[in-house]
Amino acid sequence: MSRTIIVSNRLPTKVLRTEESLTFQPSEGGLATGLGSIYRQQGNVWVGWPGLFVEDASEEEYVREQLRDDSMVPVFLTEPEIRDFYEGFSNSTLWPTFHYFSQYATYEQSHWEAYVAVNEKFCQAVLALAGPEDTIWVHDYQLLLLPAMLRQARPEATIGFFLHIPFPSYELIRVLPWRKELLEGMLGADLLGFHTFGYMRHFLSAVSQLLGFSSQNGQIETGARTVLVDAFPMGIDYERYVQAAASAAAVQHEAVYREALREVRVILSIDRLDYSKGIAQRLRAFELLIQRYPEWREQVSLIMVVVPSRDQVAQYAALKEEIDELVGRINAQYRTIGWTPIHYFYRSFPLEELASLYRLAEVALVTPMRDGMNLVAKEFVASKADGHGVLILSERAGAARELSDALIINPTDTGQLAEAMHDALVMPEDEQQLRMGAMQALVSQYNVFAWAKLFMDRLAYTKIKQHTLATEMLTPAVLQQLRVHYQDAQQRLLLLDYDGTLAPFNTNPQRAQPDQELRLLLQALADIPQNRVVIISGRDRHTLEAWLGHLPIDFIAEHGVWLRPAGEEWQLFQTLNNEWMRDIRPILELYVARTAGSFIEDKEYSLVWHYRRADAELGAMRARDLLNHLTFMTSNSDLQVMEGNKVIEIKTAGINKGSAAARWLATYQPGFTLAIGDDRTDEDTFRAMPPEAYTVKVGSTPRSLARFSVASTTDVRKLLRSLL
Ligand code: GDG
């Protein structure tokens, strides 16, 4: 049985040492709940640090056993490892660099060495667990080297990686002394996920500039393997926040706060202490609001929750001081006996109290300088059951790509931020409802479970594709074997594409008519009574008829629209049926949701996805993606996927080379089948073939569903001649 192994720096449970014993506390984090549904399934596990320095082997064993019952495997880290690997390289080198705070980054060789060693430690822990069939999903910036380490030990493993923080521009990555090693580490995965298209674009650019691997449609060819890169915006456990906000405890807390605040309206800000979160800028903007609009004094307060984090690191301590000083100064300057401008809490709250703050607030201020996604923004949206409330969101949070109905601001523009607060406070109710409703629809649908499923499905798909796309050269040994099978068979089917397969391309397509050699070759093959020779082409039937119609061979023309068995009349291949739309429409809807500006056109016998109005680069990428997705989805059906000008059309009636070829297979039930082709439409033929068929791709690109490949049309003719 195959299992899923989740690996992250921290386990979703925190082990705490109290005076008497050890306690095990579940983590509240979004990742823990989102992946909870996966790691608790039979056999699955989560590997990570339990957050505790163990004292001896017996304590280690105790923790290990306790966690085992809840599907977790601990990796024990020492204090020096946490200092150098975690606080050092992870949080003082990678975190500032990836959040565009290079000026805070340190570059310590000893931290790097600890980072390598701890990634290696995680690698050993995973290898001790993982079987060859297992799927390994690695998380976040603390484990960038792990995918390649795992790959080296297990070349066939299925490995996914997701980065929770931004991936910055190449200009920042290039500053790191270990930049190549870090990228190579990530490329050990089969699938690399980022929150946004922007991050993914930065990653592809860094890989291209630093490692020289180009990419197409998010696929990187490393030489050894294809690595797929894609955007998966992470969601929250929506229902959990809806319920927490509706809970009796939350309602009660809100009532207590409300009573204390009387009529004062609330703007809310919640973050971990971090320079990336823009906390000080937010305070200055609030001050500007009450300077510019004195009418809000005594009417509005800012409730600011800052959750202690990393305060051992110098910049964090300095930031804490700055915040303390700002809050103190602003409050001292503006407060009145009945009104406190800023209610500042430097601690964390239980979930229900957090939910009561979400309920209480009319405006949420989520204004990070940089943030991978920012889940607080989504949690606020989920908590506003009545549809009231305004979200002010930084354009530099990943969430801004999805939550376009928020008031989107530039967090360094203090004036704009103050104006946005004012606008939010005066926003009419119906506009609030409209914006909030749209965001709720999105956040509830693309929740954390959908996110995890999308990632896992994509990983499985990537892996299947890697396997199906392995093509080997048609060697003399294979040819020998092919001829033996050919000789032994009573019925033989030869499916031959025309352009690029039997005849070389000509700049003028009408000049590519068959030469004498080809006509004789086809004639000789067709004269053998056991052989059924079929020309299977995208060309129109009139051309094929004119060029080869005199031969005793079959024709499949216009990619399967028209058929003509030897000696018969042309006939249409057509079954007009729309049932497939039920399955295909949801896929298109998914792409509409993932590609702002795109839409679906419903036609009588086809569905069309239009992306002319989408961001050009994203549209082109999603189109590739959708094509791949649809090609895969429709492999065993009779659908045709066509790419047009900024459109992708899926047609009914199962008209493609594959379905036509399948009809020939069913009719003649050959003991030997040879299918040769050179382009994408021939992949349909290859796909329709039984596994024992000889499928041959012509051309130098090795990626094909065909089992074998040859270099040119000359080789094809040689192959066919050898059958005579
Ligand atoms: C990283 C990326 C990305 C906060 N205060 C309390 C509390 N919280 C919870 C929030 C939210 C979580 O902490 C914070 O999540 P964020 O996404 O906002 O930020 P990071 O911790 O920096 O997370 C980030 C994320 O990974 C996921 O990929 O979105 O960009 O930086 O869930 O609710 N929870 C409780 N009490 C508090 O006082 N219970």
**CA 31–ligand 1 middle distance (angstroms):** 9
- Measure the CA–CA gap between 691 and 247, rounded to whole angstroms: 58
Residue 552 confidence (pLDDT) above 70: yes
- CATH label of the domain that carries residue 61: 3.40.50.2000
Angle at 130 between CA 125 and CA 131, to 5 degrees: 150
Protein residue with its CA nearest to atom 38 in ligand 1: 348
Query: What is the distance, to the nearest Å, from the Cα of residue 607 to the centroid of all Cα atoms in its chain?
Result: 25
Last residue of a domain, one of 652, 669, 690: 652
Query: Average pLDDT, stretch 485-511?
Result: 88
**Are residue 178 and residue 50 in the same domain, yes or no?**
yes
Which pLDDT tens digit goes with each residue over 94-137?
999 999 999 999 999 999 999 999 999 999 999 999 988 899 99
**Are residue 203 and residue 299 in the same domain, yes or no?**
no
More confident residue, 684 or 425: 425
Query: What is the distance, to the nearest Å, from the Cα of residue 624 to the centroid of all Cα atoms in its chain?
Result: 14
Mean pLDDT rounded to a whole number for the chain:
91
**Are residue 58 and residue 27 in the same domain, yes or no?**
yes
**CA 272–ligand 1 middle distance (angstroms):** 7
Assess contact for 650 and 606: CB atoms under 8 A. Answer: yes
Which pLDDT tens digit goes with each residue over 39-77?
888 889 999 999 999 989 999 999 999 999 999 999 999
Band of residue 601 on the pLDDT scale cut at 50, 70, 90: confident
Confidence at residue 709, expressed as pLDDT on a 0 to 100 scale: 87
Which residue of 373, 401, 451 sits with most ligand 1 atoms within 8 Å of its CB, as the best mutation to test the pocket? 373
30 lines ligand 1 (CB under 6 A): yes
- CATH label of the domain that carries residue 537: 3.40.50.1000
Active-site residue identified among 140, 497, 638, 682: 497
187 lines ligand 1 (CB under 6 A): no
Band of residue 605 on the pLDDT scale cut at 50, 70, 90: low
Asked if residue 465 belongs to a domain, the reply is no
pTM for this entry: 0.71
Which pLDDT tens digit goes with each residue over 360-373?
999 999 999 999 99
Asked if residue 457 belongs to a domain, the reply is no
Asked if residue 320 belongs to a domain, the reply is yes
Q: How many domains does the chain have?
A: 4
Last residue of a domain, one of 634, 652, 670: 652
Band of residue 217 on the pLDDT scale cut at 50, 70, 90: confident
Q: Residue 182 in 3-state DSSP?
A: helix
181 lines ligand 1 (CB under 6 A): no
CA distance readout (Å), 266 to 269, 297, 441: 10, 12, 24
Annotation marks residue 497 as catalytic: yes
Residue 483 confidence (pLDDT) above 70: yes
Residue 470 confidence (pLDDT) above 70: no
Confidence at residue 508, expressed as pLDDT on a 0 to 100 scale: 65
- Measure the CA–CA gap between 311 and 490, rounded to whole angstroms: 79
Band of residue 612 on the pLDDT scale cut at 50, 70, 90: confident
Domain ranges, residue 222? 4-231
Residue 354 confidence (pLDDT) above 80: yes
Residue 604 confidence (pLDDT) above 90: no
Which residue of 375, 378, 443 sits with most ligand 1 atoms within 8 Å of its CB, as the best mutation to test the pocket? 375
Asked if residue 450 belongs to a domain, the reply is no
**CA 278–ligand 1 middle distance (angstroms):** 14
Q: Residue 368 in 3-state DSSP?
A: coil
Residue 633 confidence (pLDDT) above 90: no
More confident residue, 293 or 560: 293
Place of tokens 């119906």: 430
**CA 308–ligand 1 middle distance (angstroms):** 12
Which pLDDT tens digit goes with each residue over 419-469?
999 999 999 999 999 999 999 999 999 999 999 999 999 999 888 877 665
Confidence at residue 164, expressed as pLDDT on a 0 to 100 scale: 96
Residue 701 confidence (pLDDT) above 70: no
More confident residue, 705 or 722: 722
Least confident of 215-219, 262-266, 381-385, 639-643: 639-643
Protein residue with its CA nearest to atom 1 in ligand 1: 164
In angstroms, the first-to-last Cα distance of the chain is 48
Confidence at residue 463, expressed as pLDDT on a 0 to 100 scale: 84
Which pLDDT tens digit goes with each residue over 21-40?
899 988 766 677 778 777 88
- CATH label of the domain that carries residue 643: 3.30.70.1020
What is the position in ligand 1's atom list of the atom closest to the CA of 166?
Answer: 30
What is the position in ligand 1's atom list of the atom closest to the CA of 348?
Answer: 38
**CA 73–ligand 1 middle distance (angstroms):** 24
Asked if residue 606 belongs to a domain, the reply is yes
**Are residue 152 and residue 274 in the same domain, yes or no?**
no
